A and B are shown apart, each in its own frame.
Chain A
Amino acid sequence: MHNMQTVVDLSRWQFAATALYHFLFVPLTLGLTFLLAAMETVYVTTGRKIYKEMAIFWGKLFAINFALGVATGLTMEFEFGTNWAQYSRFVGDVFGAPLAIEGLMAFFLESTFVGLMLFGWDRMSRGKHLLVTYMVALGSNLSALWILIANGFMQSPHGATFDPITMRMELSSFTDLIFNHDAQAKFVHTSIAGYVTAAVFVAGISGWYMLRNRHMELAKRSFRMAVLFGVFASVGVISLGDALGFIDGHAQPAKLVAMESLWHTRTPPVGFNVIAFPSQKQQRNLYALKIPDLLTPLVTHSMNTVIPGADEVEQNAMVRMRDGIPAVLALKTLSAEPSNQAALAQFDAHKKDMGYALLLERFAPDLAAATPTDYERAARSVIPDVAVIFWSFRIMVLAGFAMLFFLGLGAFCSLNNKVHERRWLLKLAPWFIPVPYIACEAGWLVAEMGRQPWTVYGVFPTWMSASTQSVAYMVFSLAGFVLIYSIFIAVEMYLMVKFIRKGPDDGATAMLAH
């Protein structure tokens, strides 16, 4: 049991590491494609060559990022099979379809058009090339859509039911799966976060060029287009962040507890913890700086809705564990006698709480003999790591508002056509490039660590989801991934810096154009 828990922890570390590495590449791909499309749209409508140069130069940086993004993303799909075999068996019927469509979108739509976009400048008419660029943008974002539909199911399972005979989740409504509110809000939030990343990236490099008085025509136009692109996208990201908080607040109360470090249920309106030092063990905040009455309207969009604290979430979990035990016991009967009608009826009556009984099973392998201590330990495990999620959430929000401020300021200076004279802004711009990446990584930590201890929220616990690999295999493969992905990051940084330093006037630009 102890060994198995180590394998589960190592599997989590491995998936987290590969996902976080992969997500260093994805946001720029999502956003830069649409920014390239905007630049090319101006080229096609006005015929000005500078916009073609812009599209080619930024397209080259996109190509470096895209190649490494695909390379790092591939392994994650295999990890579902190698490290999360139980999870894949349990939800494969639901998860497989969006994952397969994502593969088609990424490899057939996006990758096919990427080649045409990069090397087709003089082989197609301007209009056709523009269409290709839009297809690349659409393909990259639609591939993200399908991944996030699958992820939305893990966060808030809709559109599937558990079959007690086959012992796995089966798709009951494809439309419920794709129109899941969590998936929708998460997709738009993630996609537009990519737009902000691309905007800050292009503005940062353009600012660096202007500071050195290099490629001024390209840099001024790129900066203008990027900051306008980014300032509207930032407003969208913040709006969708609010929507996602509202949706998750209902779907995953334990995640909300962790995001806000809310240990006790209080009479509304509840104060907002700006800063808190939570103690998971003592289930309280060692210190908290609060703004009175702010959290309730922020999270519930009302002044009198009760927000459940950790104490209430744990109590509810205990009730659901007790209610779910007959469902799990019925499953054990059904695995030996699938046609046992009494067991089927017992399962049907308690199936909504089956996941909570499975969660309890980690602490009490013999569910019928579970002690109050087992229940308490299982209930406490329902609350994810509060300190990590609380601070990751605040880092993400702070970074989001900082980028809105920077892009707004950039847009104001650029619209006055004075940006090249504002040297302090140009100096600041490159320093902002890491900020959207930090925000994106922090956002993923909130979303995925906040879902714990579940792989499918409220249905299937993480402790049951991993494969039966050995600890040595997990340590070896984790070390291998970290090493290889670190090399990928180093290669990306080297190539990016090399091509940025060279600027748009090198041979590669000409090669792509002819």
Chain B
Amino acid sequence: MDNALEISGLKKVYKGGFTALKGIDLIVKQGDFFALLGPNGAGKSTTIGIITSLVNKSAGSVKVFGHDIDKELEKAKSFLGLVPQEFNFNQFETLLTILVNQAGYYGVERPLAFQRAEKYLKQLDLWEKRNDAGRMLSGGMKRRLMIARALMHEPQMLILDEPTAGVDIELRRSMWEFLRELNQQGITIILTTHYLEEAEMLCRNIAIIDSGVIVEDTDMKSLLSKLDQETIVLDIDKITEAPKLDEFTTRLIDDHTLEVDVKKSQLVNHVFSQLSAKNINVHSMRNKSNRLEELFVSLVGSGQNVNQESK
């Protein structure tokens, strides 16, 4: 299967000397649902900007479905749909105008563009607002409008830069479902997000970028399998001090909340059996943090080390 995206030795040095990318390599397979994660200022948006030609690269190459952006930029662009982080549509134009004009930039005739606009506005629950100006929409609606706009030319690859930022959880979940359906239809999706739960739920492969360097590039399962310890939080009967459990580290957070560190090789059953033996009832249990979040924090820490070494 062809690669949807091939990035090789990509560097970006901004005016003033700030190096945003230090020669990254990245491959995204066709049909993939790919997460590009990293802290603020890591280089995610610069990478996306270069792929979509909004940022000029300093060195390296980018191929979109085999088309080099240096040699066949227009061809490469025709495969891409972009949902940027910032709202970047004309605030005074109506939703229909925004969508139909955008389709026109890709050579879609107006009658077909109107059909597609209706389809995507209905799918994204914006049809009732079709004649409203963009500025009249709520934040969540604006995000959905940008997704509809990116789909108007039916791209083979969709790049979403923080698509669910500031969106409430109910809407976020409906957007996840919509993106999953698009991916099932064969559209390659690249997603950057701050919600690591989002990446874990949606994406099959993942790259983590930090300080302009890719510190991890693997599939989600392999990455999560690297996590050798999780912390579970138990809501328990009132106790005054943390119980000592064989082979487990415990911490009493308050008189009803106990944290227990569980290694990958250990069974949670043993926690419960030991607590039962001590007559401590457990009312509920949850993970202290998202699994990916724990890995992310540890990897980004090592990324900083890489950065320091490369200076």
Q: Do A and B form a real pair?
A: no
